[in-house]
Amino acid sequence: MKRGAAGALDVAIVGGGIVGCACAQAAVAAGLRVAVFEGQRVGAGATAAGMGHLVVIDDDPAEFALARLSMTLWREWAGWQDIERLACGTLWLAETAAQQAAAQAKLARLAAAGLQADWLDAPALRAAEPRLAHDLVGALRVHGDEVAYGPGMAARLAADVRAGGGRIEEMRPVARLRDDGLELVDGTRVAAGHVLLAAGNDSVRLWPGDSPLRLRPRKGQLAITDRYPGYLRHALVELGYIDAAHGDADESVAFNAQPRASGQVLLGSSRSYRDTTPAVDAALLARMVRRAQRFLPDIAALQMLRCWAGLRPATPDGRPIIGRIPGSTRGNQWVATGHEGLGLTTATGTASVWLDLLLGRMPAIDPAPYAPERFVGALA
C-alpha cells in the first residue's frame, strides 16, 4: 500500500456512519494515519435510524459470510463491552406449515455452519415468549443474535479512532474526491494517500466515476414504546421478513419487534422505494401496528413514544459495495457502502475486507461478491 506523503494522511474517509467509523477504527489499529470527514455528526445518517438487530441472515451465502465475520469481530473488539445491547437471540416466527419447513431448512444451514439454533414448537414458543399469539406454529430460535444501540456503536468506534491518534472531523462536509485526497465544501484540500467513500446514500453524489453508482435509498419506519421491562425476551421477526427485505416491492411491511436494554419495545419495519422523504407516513405506521397485532395481540395497549424514518442505502442485489473504485486513476480511491438493512451488523466485516484489500492482504472472506465493478463501468 502507498502511504501518504510526509505530513499527509494515509487514508481520508468520507462519512462517519457505522461503516466509515468501523473502517477508520480498523485502519488506525493497523497503524495508518486516518481522518474521518463527517458532514454532520458521527452516526447521524442511516446509522441513527437503524433498529440495531445484529443478525446473521443466511439466505445469501455472501451476506452470511460477511455477517458471521462481522459478529466475530464485534465480539473480539474491546469496545464491545461498552455498547448498550442485549444478547437476546432471535425468534423467526412461523405462521404456517410451509414456513415451518422453511425454518427447518434454515436451521439445518445454521447448524451446518456451527451456529447455535433450535426449533421451538407451539408450547415451547408460548413458554419462551408468552405475549405472542397462540396460533403460531412455532419458531426458529437463533441464539447468537443481539440487539444494540447503533449510534452508540459508531460513537464508541470513533472514540477508539481518536484514542489511536486518528481524527474525527465533524461538521466538515466533503465536496469531492481528488486523486490526491479530498476537497471539503469550505474549499480546504486534504492530502491523503488513499480516500474511502463511506457516505451511505450520499455516496452517489460524491461518486467520482463517469458511470453513476447504482444505489438508491430504501426508506424504513420504526416506532418505539415507553419502558415495559420484560415485555419481550427475544428479537422477534416474522419469517416472511426476508422475502420483504430481498424483494423489490415498492412498499412492504414485515413484523419485527425487539426488547431494548432500556426496557422499551422497538417496532418495525417497513421498506419503501416510493417515498424517500424523511417524513413519517401515518398510514404506513398504522399498517405496521396492525401487522404487529397479528403476532403480539396486546401491543396496541403499549404507549408509543416516538416514530421515525430513515433511508437504507440499497444496491440492486442487496449486497454491499466494498473495494477499489473502478477507473480510479491512481488506484487509491475506495468505496464501502450499500449495506441496506444490515450495515450495523456487517460494518466490522466490511472494514476487515476493505483494509485487507488496501494493504494487499488476502481478505478473511472472498471479496468478489462485493466488487464495485458489478454496478458501475463496463459490467453495469
Ligand X SMILES: Cc1cc2nc3c(=O)[nH]c(=O)nc-3n(C[C@H](O)[C@H](O)[C@H](O)COP(=O)(O)OP(=O)(O)OC[C@H]3O[C@@H](n4cnc5c(N)ncnc54)[C@H](O)[C@@H]3O)c2cc1C
The residues that touch ligand X, with contacts defined as CB under 6 A, are 14-20, 37-40, 44-47, 49-53, 150, 173-174, 198-200, 202, 206, 220, 222, 269, 310-313, 337, 339-345
- DSSP label at residue 113: T
Q: Which is nearer to ligand X, 57 or 140 (CB)?
A: 57
Q: If 0-12 CB within 10 Å is exposed, 13-18 middle and 19+ buried, where does residue 52 land?
A: buried
Q: How far is the CB of 224 from ligand X (least distance, A)?
A: 12
Q: Is 135 helix (H, G, I), strand (E, B) or coil?
A: coil
Q: Which is nearer to ligand X, 259 or 313 (CB)?
A: 313
> Residue 313 phi/psi, 5° resolution?
-80, 110
Q: What is the 3-state secondary structure (H, E, C) of 251-297?
A: EEEEEEEEECCCCEEEEEEEEECCCCCCCCCHHHHHHHHHHHHHHCC
Q: Which is nearer to ligand X, 121 or 248 (CB)?
A: 248
* Pair 261, 84: CB distance under 8 Å: yes
Q: How far is the CB of 162 from ligand X (least distance, A)?
A: 17
* Pair 299, 289: CB distance under 8 Å: yes
Q: Which is nearer to ligand X, 341 or 363 (CB)?
A: 341
Query: Amino acid identity of 58?
Result: D
User: Measuring CA to CA, which residue among 259, 220, 231 is closest to residue 47?
Assistant: 220
> Residue 202 phi/psi, 5° resolution?
-75, -5
Q: Which is nearer to ligand X, 20 or 181 (CB)?
A: 20
Q: Which is nearer to ligand X, 137 or 235 (CB)?
A: 235
β-pair type (181-184, 189-197)? antiparallel
Q: If 0-12 CB within 10 Å is exposed, 13-18 middle and 19+ buried, where does residue 308 land?
A: middle
Q: Which is nearer to ligand X, 44 or 371 (CB)?
A: 44
Cell matching residue 38: 463527517
DSSP assignments along 42-85, one per residue = TT-SHHHH---EE----SSHHHHHHHHHHHHHHHHSGGGGGS-E
Cα-based torsion angle of the residue sequence 345, 351, 357, 363 in order, rounded to the nearest 10 degrees = -50
Q: How far is the CB of 1 from ligand X (least distance, A)?
A: 23
β-pair type (321-324, 235-238)? unpaired
- Residue 45: other Cβ atoms inside 10 A: 27
Q: How far is the CB of 195 from ligand X (least distance, A)?
A: 12
- Residue 2: other Cβ atoms inside 10 A: 11
Q: How far is the CB of 15 from ligand X (least distance, A)?
A: 3
For the chain, the farthest-separated pair of C-alpha atoms sits apart, in whole angstroms, at 67
Q: Which is nearer to ligand X, 100 or 348 (CB)?
A: 348
Q: Is 302 helix (H, G, I), strand (E, B) or coil?
A: coil
Q: How far is the CB of 4 from ligand X (least distance, A)?
A: 19
Q: Which is nearer to ligand X, 51 or 125 (CB)?
A: 51
Q: Which is nearer to ligand X, 137 or 195 (CB)?
A: 195
Cell matching residue 174: 466533503
